[in-house]
Structure 1
């Protein structure tokens, strides 16, 4: 080692913070350092395979076997991990071991501030998410020395050394063979990681399905080799996705899922299949048990792992599934994808589009089966991921039909937390009912008191409650189901069964005067004021004029925090309701009554509030206080 050419370089401030957290805060997660180092070694081996293919084997040591070798020395208190992967130059070491992407370091620090330090599941999860995995070695290390030689034949070997306390040293090395060796001098309280049984235990739990062999140096148990040191393979090294599903038990699936995602809860659903036509590929997909299994996950941090004949081509490959299925985790391995395809070009190959189509179809089919066979499990799924399906209904016209039967809604026919499907709704429709009815709102309990429901309750017509914020967007892509139109019951032109409509009755002069007064008072706020044909128990309701945009559009704007103009609707009144009768009588007694316009404004804004489109409910407070004052004076 040419010490004269060695350099000592200070860690950046954010890396010092990361190291401080890792060294002092996470004692209960120490063992994951080995998972992270093996994961890095596996990545290096994968990258070497790809570079070897791209360069037609013009690499250093092309015949050297690919793998990871681990050895321990209890007396010296050391642990050594070697791989024959792509290797690093001195410049690579400064770049990859001396720095972390600023955003990754910052996000890790913020994530750790938010977590309960005693929650081993969540802290273990966070370690692998922000590109800080290598530095976890300092949880157990007094000093770490990394020696490496790149796959490039002319590249020089180099070393990197640090105690994790503020700086690192780099310089040239005399290492002759390709790959990387990490020598760890263990802390006093971490000496158990020099025990071979401990290494076996950790590899079995965290790295059993790594695609390359992991060897551990142990004493031989063979009679003629007793006392000798030999390397034994200690991982299953199984491409689990290529096995027949009938040969894989639930425990193997669970272990693979946990190693894939760092989510230490069981997956909610496993989808394992092989496709032969029109393209051959293997897929092992998982649906997590909760949507927040990746804490602090960014919106675009998703995607499946894409392999070509067991060689990892791309991590987090987003083009295998549409964005609304981003909650699906897993692996896809293609037999037909060329191994030497660049990671940038792979997304443009026609095969990817075919695989994507097959995956969407299989996911929808498996979810339908899940809904049929496991009602409780599907209920959990829908609570966590139902919004994603609605996003798909709005955004993916081509595949809308595949997911319609998975939608679930509360309705006037369900109770408590029970939900109904569109198919079940249709099965309960009356013979003369042509449409599927729904009402929009912010909460099922509030919607259940909607004035729009008067007629439908009286005539035993089921109405769906659309109370999820995503329902507003979903409706932009959902107008019918099985030939039946979805109709908002606040539509003024809504057609109802003919024999159920109210018989026209002569108008009362007082009521006619009241509608004219209210229209004049509200002015441009309403399109019209008229008698309702369907209200029975409520005083008023707001309905959409024919040809006007759906209320869902305005609700969507409000939910996104966008400025919007309150739509001009038709205010319908129930002439038989006490409030309307009293207003009519008050107008007849004194059309200059100063409280009349106050009552009218409040009646109108009550309905805006019920519709979920009031731009600023707090503005009603002074008016309500005025009405309370008048009421108290007369009591």
Structure 2
């Protein structure tokens, strides 16, 4: 029997490749966080398809439905628990459905599976990166139906369907218009997404600035006009504040902003913020910032860490570039961004942003010193890190450095300030290391410098040691640690009159050396101490103190290698100890005093491993002092 109606062939069943099956299993059963990413991925794919159509129509007007509005529609059926995302982009042929929806590049699939298993990143970060964005639908759906018709006028519509198992079907469909319609049949535990308000919330968070209208019903729900795409003169201060708060959940105003819009040498639209505080965010208390990367206003990476040097990781913001390739998939762009070797476009973006950020901060320092002082208090530690790690930008970073010194009071100075205040005959820049700023201020190493009126930079945190690995000289002036033994200081001062003769000092030194043993190399009389009883100095063969502090910063145990203990023979404490040594070489106070003098020196320099161990000894010394009185 025959009929006038043509028989429609049954859908053809096909198997997913093995690597796709692995990806689907992980998405359906392992990744439960960031499930809302599925909508971001579908909207971004739809936007890509419309972008490709625009690119095609630059040279080819022979497309299906050329007058159709370029837009994205989202429909929700609460009763059926379905979500449909529809676009008027390039669409897909039957073969393209098989090629694109049934296959993933093996290398990308392997990388995704490995990273998901190791849980190195959340779903939002890794799904798009490895070319598996479409498959994120199976995080929320137990069946997905894709109906599409290619922009090619003679192409037939096709339907693709899968339940996320090992196979999918492809068949003929009825679809008069160009574009793609994707229907998600939600899982029971994903029914929350079958709500207009929920989807609109997700769109606002991830896809608000997509270049094309996104409709829910008759209403457009995305802004479309991105703030960073506007000229800076068109943007009000309140709008910047609102964008910052939306991105960070930090309701303090940012300390500074950079709005960059340029066409050469690269198309780049960016707004970067310097937060007011190192730790910010109402809900998520974090130190590191996030830079969202867009291509033509389509979000391609939530946190593009490689767009600025790591020492600028406190920066918050958004970066958008037309020069990220138009006719390739966003997953390809994302993969490049996440790679160790950046593409030429990404390298130019990084170079441009880094240069402008340096210029902005230096201008802030020149024009608004009080605001820059606030910046330095919060983020100076990052600039010090940059000095140690980024030789290329070293000169720019040196301009940003700020220091306390022995003569600056509470004010901060630059290296240029220090150079301009050097005394006659001074040929080096001097610094002192301490366990804290206050400890550095009271360091015994400062005695000869105070006497001569020589300014000394005060270094009081662990990052200073790391910084010095990249800061050995400034404009021809060597930086010198004041604990070195071979310093030749300009200017003459009267040496303090010793109150101990050589024999008395030798007796005391022998007693103290016997107690301290291998902790010290030798004990000798100081020629420079005036107001302090003792100090530890390093000879030419000693290891760098800066490296020891770096080891401590990294949380590694370090040994306090032997150094020279200098005693001030004119100081009342040393004189009293010498008398005790002469009267009774076995006086227990001598042993306690020797250990305490050594520990005091370590403590002031920030090198003491466990200061609590000093407490019992201090109590014994206090008891002895009380008995004496």
Same fold (TM over 0.5): yes
CA distance in 1, matches of 2:506, 2:549: 32
> What SS does structure 2 have at the residue aligned with 1:497?
coil
Residues 389 and 42 from structure 1, CA distance in 2 versus in 1: closer, same or farther, beyond 3 angstroms?
farther
1:518 corresponds to 2:519: no
Q: For 1:404-452, what per-residue CA distance to the aligned partner results, in whole angstroms no more than 9, with x for missing partners?
A: 2222233334556x53333344444444443333222222233333222
Answer whether contact 2:145 2:159 (CA < 8 A) is retained.
no
How far has the Cα of 1:199 moved from its partner? 8.7
Partner of 2:480: 487
How far has the Cα of 1:532 moved from its partner? 2.2
Residues 589 and 264 from structure 1, CA distance in 2 versus in 1: closer, same or farther, beyond 3 angstroms?
closer
CA distance in 2, matches of 1:526, 1:242: 65
Partner of 1:209: 209
Mapping of residues 62-461 of structure 1, within 5 Å:
67-71=71-75, 82-83=86-87, 89=101, 147-149=145-147, 156-158=159-161, 178-181=180-183, 208-218=208-218, 233-258=220-245, 266-275=253-262, 277-293=264-280, 295=284, 305=293, 307=295, 316-334=303-321, 336=323, 338-340=325-327, 342-343=332-333, 344=335, 347-415=341-409, 418-461=411-454
Partner of 1:473: 466
Residues 73 and 348 from structure 1, CA distance in 2 versus in 1: closer, same or farther, beyond 3 angstroms?
closer
Answer whether contact 1:542 1:572 (CA < 8 A) is retained.
yes
How far has the Cα of 1:402 moved from its partner? 0.6
Answer whether contact 2:125 2:302 (CA < 8 A) is retained.
no
Partner of 2:598: 604
Answer whether contact 1:41 1:68 (CA < 8 A) is retained.
no
CA distance in 2, matches of 1:607, 1:426: 29
How far has the Cα of 1:352 moved from its partner? 3.7
> What SS does structure 2 have at the residue aligned with 1:575?
coil
Answer whether contact 1:83 1:181 (CA < 8 A) is retained.
no
How far has the Cα of 1:518 moved from its partner? 3.3
Residues 412 and 178 from structure 1, CA distance in 2 versus in 1: closer, same or farther, beyond 3 angstroms?
same
Answer whether contact 2:82 2:183 (CA < 8 A) is retained.
no
CA distance in 2, matches of 1:603, 1:441: 16
How far has the Cα of 1:348 moved from its partner? 4.4
> What SS does structure 1 have at the residue aligned with 2:535?
strand
How far has the Cα of 1:578 moved from its partner? 1.5
Partner of 2:40: 39
Select which of 489, 501, 504 maps to 1:496. 489
How far has the Cα of 1:283 moved from its partner? 3.5
CA distance in 2, matches of 1:611, 1:446: 7
> What SS does structure 1 have at the residue aligned with 2:458?
strand
How far has the Cα of 1:563 moved from its partner? 2.8
CA distance in 1, matches of 2:149, 2:446: 72
Q: For 1:536-593, what per-residue CA distance to the aligned partner results, in whole angstroms no more than 9, with x for missing partners?
A: 2211111121253332211221232223221222211111212100111112223343
CA distance in 1, matches of 2:125, 2:248: 10
> What SS does structure 2 have at the residue aligned with 1:553?
helix
CA distance in 2, matches of 1:523, 1:480: 36
How far has the Cα of 1:13 moved from its partner? 12
Answer whether contact 2:388 2:471 (CA < 8 A) is retained.
yes
Answer whether contact 2:207 2:298 (CA < 8 A) is retained.
no
Unaligned runs of 5+ in 2: 1-9, 15-23, 92-96
CA distance in 2, matches of 1:54, 1:203: 25
Deviates more, 1:379-388 or 1:578-587: 379-388
CA distance in 1, matches of 2:446, 2:553: 24
Answer whether contact 1:451 1:540 (CA < 8 A) is retained.
yes
Answer whether contact 1:304 1:318 (CA < 8 A) is retained.
no
Partner of 1:164: none
Answer whether contact 2:499 2:570 (CA < 8 A) is retained.
no
How far has the Cα of 1:69 moved from its partner? 1.8
Answer whether contact 1:15 1:100 (CA < 8 A) is retained.
no
Answer whether contact 1:206 1:259 (CA < 8 A) is retained.
no
CA distance in 1, matches of 2:534, 2:389: 35
Partner of 1:581: 575
CA distance in 1, matches of 2:560, 2:162: 67
Partner of 1:118: none
Residues 619 and 15 from structure 1, CA distance in 2 versus in 1: closer, same or farther, beyond 3 angstroms?
farther
Q: For 1:175-229, what per-residue CA distance to the aligned partner results, in whole angstroms no more than 9, with x for missing partners?
A: 7552434588999x9999658xx998996787542333222433xxxxxxxxxxx
1:557 corresponds to 2:555: no
CA distance in 1, matches of 2:298, 2:474: 43
TM-score scaled by length of structure 2: 0.72
How far has the Cα of 1:595 moved from its partner? 3.9
CA distance in 1, matches of 2:566, 2:590: 18
Residues 266 and 503 from structure 1, CA distance in 2 versus in 1: closer, same or farther, beyond 3 angstroms?
closer
Q: For 1:129-186, what per-residue CA distance to the aligned partner results, in whole angstroms no more than 9, with x for missing partners?
A: 898999x99xxx9x9986435899998523669xxxxxx9998698755243458899
How far has the Cα of 1:401 moved from its partner? 1.0
CA distance in 1, matches of 2:294, 2:302: 6
Answer whether contact 1:455 1:535 (CA < 8 A) is retained.
yes
How far has the Cα of 1:324 moved from its partner? 1.7
Partner of 1:29: none
CA distance in 1, matches of 2:577, 2:233: 73
Residues 356 and 420 from structure 1, CA distance in 2 versus in 1: closer, same or farther, beyond 3 angstroms?
same
Residues 207 and 276 from structure 1, CA distance in 2 versus in 1: closer, same or farther, beyond 3 angstroms?
closer
How far has the Cα of 1:474 moved from its partner? 0.6
> What SS does structure 1 have at the residue aligned with 2:393?
helix
Deviates more, 1:65-74 or 1:470-479: 65-74
CA RMSD, 1 decimal: 5.3
